[in-house]
Structure 1
């Protein structure tokens, strides 16, 4: 399906539904400039005044292979969770953006330089490559086709908001996803904050705090919260005493939001010996 003359380079290739861990998304494949991108929609974003939108740059290593050198996989999961929690929104998966637009092979060469002590910016420059080569024209064209002139952008990168604005899309607000640093990517993320204007970790506004104010309330007031996992048929543990798989994914996400909001987690000795729990915040 070809667009108007103004949007002649944009082609809607297909439209279908995609059931995921976070719910069912209407999923569109768009080709722009010989590259195919994906738009995942939940609800009816065109009816919202400013739906939440995540422009997610393709990252094979982080999104698919589970690499901890970046936070791309964590950001992707957090964005889908945020859209599902709000009930409406869009995730634009932008292909051709590997390594901030330098390509997979060059990104891995840059990783090798980082292994020798360079940061992500200096590694790109040592290879004769730009700090960030991404272009967001396809994202703006997709949003226009979907009838979305105004967005609330899920991003810690002000350059993304500036790029959309320059392309005619109004960014009513920029919301930072609540993804914490890992030991393996902390230096990389600090470099982006120090040298590429990304928002600092401190003072972030969590989209989940806005969507679920109960977690913010718990974080701001002295509370003791009792949490119990229970199976659909009323059991809190298996016959052997372990409770590792009693609850489902939604319950574990809720539990991790509670953990993120409190100062300490207290469990019984039997839980420690039977389950050996990590008691960390991982799902949010």
Structure 2
């Protein structure tokens, strides 16, 4: 499933380095960062928002086409209500304060995950952000919010089943391509590179279908410390891999 890359040993070559078209990131370690600095967890989340801004900007500068960020898991509802409220407030703050700049930079926002049960104002903010950036042709910022990979698969299967029952889809025509058209990520390519920060080496119910042939890089830094150098280190590690997609190595 990949390895924990040592950031200092992976400088990014400025020429000839393959840039992944789609990078997905599990932004882990806000709470641990805060604890390590003797600060409340919310401060870790605030610093994490700053890392989001750096990461989005750097992805655009590197020519990455799609950046998917795992911001709030469907399992995160089990956290204390005060922390959930803090996370929602940070999302509100980010959209209201950064949307104009993202729009001006040509970023297109796409939000994946279950929308039922979200606070009404969050639902409206998400829908507005998508609508206002729908015609942008720059970086696609795909935000996984209230998202779980298994839940996404179940919802996709349900939609396919409903179409079959209604006679809108012949079972004989069902295929991987048809199934992908019913996923939250429909129309977006699968990730080439998955980065997880904080040194944890698991995918935590994230993009279970889409990660079939993705390269995994696990970095030892907590998300608030994830910067341009760490991003470039992950890209350099990706560049060093031999991607075979189930075929044989020809070297």
Would you say same fold, with TM above 0.5? no
TM-score by length of 2: 0.30
Higher helix residue share: 2
Give the structure, 1 or 2, with the largest relative contact order (CA under 8 Å, sep 6 or more).
2
